[in-house]
Structures are given as C-alpha cells and as structure tokens.
Structure 1
Amino acid sequence: MAIDSHIRYLGNDTFEDIALLDAYPLPDFCPVCKKSINPEFILIYFKFNGHQELLCSCPDNKCKSLFFAVYKECPSETSEYSLDHFTPLSREEKLFPDEIYPLSPDFIEIYNQAYVAEQEKLNLICGVGYRKALEYLIKDFALKQSPEDIEKIKRMPLQQCLKKFITDPKIKAMAERAIWLGNDETHYVRKWKSKDLKDLKNLIELTVYFISITFKVSKYSEEMFLD
C-alpha cells in the first residue's frame, strides 16, 4: 500500500483538522531550539504499529526547523495517543564552573557523553558513564592536591583514593555518596533503592561545586592579603 494513503496533510484551521488534533497532546516547545512555541502542523503519518507521527514546523525566525512529535496509542478504548518523544532532538551540553575545565577535561567529556545517552533515553547505561566521569574528577583533583603521588593515585580504587587524598569534608561527603550511587549503576543488585539517577547527578554537581569553591578560595587568598 502506498505511503501517501497513511498521510493526512493539515491546514491547521479546518474543523476536521482541529478535531483530529484534539486527540493528541500537542507540543508547546521546539526540541531543536528549545524555545516555547505554538508550532505549525503540517501532516500526520498514521503508522501500522500503534504510533503516529505529527510533522511540525517551528515558527521562530532563527530556527524554522521541522520536527516530528511521535505518539503511541494509549491502551484504552478511546484510541487516544500519548506523546512519546521528539525527533530530531537537539542535544544539550552540561556546563560546569570555569575551574573544572582545566582541572579535568576528561571528566567534562565523559559526563557529557553520558548526558547525551540520557537525552537519548538510554537510562540503563548512562549511570555507568556518570560513575566513570566521577572517578576522573576525583582522581584529577587528588593529583592536583598531591602531584608527588601520581602513580599511587592512578592505581588506587576510587573509594580509597577519596579517603586518603581528599581532605575537604564537604567534597569527601558528597563524593562518597556519589560513589555509592554510581556503584549501584554498575551492579546487578541495587543497595540504595530509594535513590535514582537524578540523585547521582545531584551529588556529582555538589562535588563539582565544592571543588570549584576550593579553587576560588585559594585564588582570592593568594591574591588578597595584608603585609
């Protein structure tokens, strides 16, 4: 059967099109430019597998992107649809305090690769990436604090490295808890069942924050003092 028979072109203002669109939770932002919008609706593609694809156009003059809002049929007699995802989806990059970039560029790269995986809904693997990013952050910070112990820090398990080479109590407290949750992401049985990926990311962000604070404190302490 020709694909054209499964496509309905929309005029956005006819009674039939308005009634048809009422069955869908319509997008109110552009997944490409991330702005709040009232999109223009171009067509609906009725697929065979209980999915429908609504082709939209972003009206923002700087964007003007086309994107699909993909729906899946709700398991009910009403035959209504729920919004499943958008495609394409512009990937966001996580930004960190300026002090972190020269300290651990590998942490930045690994964290953002995990962040891309999360945005692609690969939730079962992105936690492993966040855990790896955390290890680079902690070990790079330990190397900055104790450059004479470079080989020991590289080989040492992360938990031991944290206890031996990180002295700031706030960094140690947040990083230790982040390690616990990061380890849960790599193990068959979860220990912290009440915590999830959001908690892991929060703890990593707190660790990053307290590390950046130590650099700021050191900077102003060295630059400003009385003779």
Structure 2
Amino acid sequence: MEIKPTKFINNMLNTGHTNKFEIPSLCPWCGVSFNPTIDRVATFDESDAHTFVLQMHCNYCGKKSINVVIGKDYSNMVQQMLYPAPKARQFDDLLVNLSPRFISLYQSAERAEQIGDLDLAGMGYRASLEILLKDFALKSTDDSKEKIATFNLGVAINKYFGDNPFGMIPADVVRLDANDFVHWDRPDDFDPVMTLEEMKSYLEIFITVVKTRQMIAHPPVKRYKK
C-alpha cells in the first residue's frame, strides 16, 4: 500500500445533499489508484451518527468491494470497515532480515490506522521506529544489546544518527509527533489525521535511509580484488 491508504471524496449518493466520506486510495483487490463507481447499498441513521454501506466498483479490475463509513454529519464520514481488507505492506528482505519485529509493529500500526484507531497507530509507528533504529545499531556497531537497551529513543537517535541529518531529522520528527499520541496532555488543536500523515512521511524517509545503509553494507556483487 502507498503511504496514504485512504482519501476523502464528495458524492451525492442520491441523498439530496453532498456527502464527504473516506475510501481507500488504492483498490483493495488490484492495488491500482482508486476512483470507483460507488453505490449506496444501505443507510442506518441514529440520533448521533449516520452509517452508509457502500458498494465500490473498481474501474480498472472490475471487482467490487464493500466499505462502511460512519459520521455525526454527512460532511466527514470515516471508514470503519472494508472488504476485502487491504494487504499489509511488504518490505525488502534486507529490512525483514535486519528487524522482523519492526515489520510486525509497522503492520500492526497500519491495521490500527485502517480501522480508525489513530492513537494506537501513532504509538505503533513510533514503536516501530525505535525497534528499527536499535536493531540497526545492534547489527552495525559494536555496542551490546544491553548497552543499546539503556538508551531512550532521543538518546539513541543522537548517538547512532547524530552525524547524519537524513536519518536524525526524520527520526526526531516521528519521535516528537508521536508524543501527542502517547501523552495525556496534548494541544487543543491537535489534528490526529494530519499528524499521522506527517509521521508516516518522515518515518518513510528514515526507513529509506536504513535500507540504503543496508544495501551498501550488503551489496549483491563486490569489486574483484587481486
């Protein structure tokens, strides 16, 4: 899946008014950018929420998927369930071999995000950063597991990427953005959707930096030496 798994669109859906609701940005069947034909299959209205069951027809692969969206009004209806469920993101073998726990945590955060549990997703992406960073440090330095374990995330970032702004800055953005998902006290104007997108964008940069370092450390071919 791409960095941003969902998007909001406007559609009348034969309701007499414009509805803004969340759908996947990629078809859950074929993975192609998603601009489906949408039909409203069912509507459930309660005093505090409106629920639409949507049938989406992919204009590329022709397959149909089901999306359930819910909102207090029709201008911000959030995806609650999708069939089929999006496939978990797959990672390069270099990262799988370096840090299998990072892969597991990232995919757990991704699942939490897909069902709307943004606080859990933010915590999960932050945890995946720490696991990847420390597994990288364990494999690429002489520091022991016991020593690395004593460092909090901020200290670990500075120690292992302090001389590399391409690694340090993205890691710090993820760490600091994650504070508002983890801590009790956060700004009144906190926007979890925007903050999560920012976190993921910078986490992606950090993942790329680590992958690049692994590619250099483990090239598929080596220069012949006499």
TM-score (norm 1): 0.68
Within-5 A mapping of 1:24-103: 24-25=18-19, 32-33=28-29, 35-41=34-40, 43-49=41-47, 51-56=50-55, 58=57, 63-65=63-65, 67-70=66-69, 72=71, 74=73, 81-82=74-75, 84-86=77-79, 88-89=81-82, 90-103=85-98
Q: Secondary structure at the match of 1:88?
A: strand
Q: Secondary structure at the match of 2:37?
A: coil
Change (3 A) 1:39 1:148: closer
Tell me, in whole angstroms, the C-alpha distance in 1 between the residues paired with 2:22 and 2:35. 6
Change (3 A) 1:186 1:72: closer
Counterpart for residue 208 of structure 1: 207
Structure 1 residue 105 displacement after superposition: 1.0
Q: Which has the larger radius of gyration?
A: 1
Percent identical across equivalent pairs? Answer: 24
Tell me, in whole angstroms, the C-alpha distance in 1 between the residues paired with 2:174 and 2:80. 32
Deviates more, 1:47-56 or 1:96-105: 47-56
Would you say the 8 A contact 1:53–1:70 is kept in 2? yes
Structure 1 residue 128 displacement after superposition: 1.2
Q: What is the CA deviation profile of residues 119-152 of structure 1, one whole-angstrom value per residue up to 9, with x for unaligned ones? A: 2121223211111111101110000012551221
Would you say the 8 A contact 2:137–2:143 is kept in 1? no
Counterpart for residue 78 of structure 1: none
Structure 1 residue 51 displacement after superposition: 1.8
Residue 223 (structure 1) aligned with residue 226 (structure 2): no
Counterpart for residue 23 of structure 1: 17
Would you say the 8 A contact 1:24–1:83 is kept in 2? no
Q: Secondary structure at the match of 1:108?
A: helix
Which of 125, 132, 141 is matched with 1:146 structurally?
Answer: 141
Structure 1 residue 225 displacement after superposition: 4.9
Which of 112, 115, 134 is matched with 1:120 structurally?
Answer: 115
Residue 188 (structure 1) aligned with residue 181 (structure 2): no
Would you say the 8 A contact 2:88–2:110 is kept in 1? yes
Structure 1 residue 207 displacement after superposition: 1.0
Q: Say what the alpha-carbon RMSD is for the aligned residues.
A: 3.7
Would you say the 8 A contact 1:174–1:203 is kept in 2? yes
Can you give the 5+ residue segments of structure 2 that lack an aligned partner in the other structure? 1-11
Structure 1 residue 220 displacement after superposition: 3.7
Would you say the 8 A contact 1:97–1:209 is kept in 2? no
Tell me, in whole angstroms, the C-alpha distance in 2 between the residues paired with 1:93 and 1:149. 32
Letter in 1 for 2:117: L
Q: Secondary structure at the match of 2:78?
A: strand
Can you give the 5+ residue segments of structure 1 that lack an aligned partner in the other structure? 1-17, 75-80
Letter in 2 for 1:204: L
Tell me, in whole angstroms, the C-alpha distance in 2 between the residues paired with 1:182 and 1:168. 23
Q: Secondary structure at the match of 1:156?
A: coil
Corresponding residue pairs, total: 201
Q: Secondary structure at the match of 1:99?
A: helix
TM-score (norm 2): 0.69
Q: What is the CA deviation profile of residues 10-62 of structure 1, one whole-angstrom value per residue up to 9, with x for unaligned ones? A: xxxxxxxx994443548897774364322455x44353335253453637776
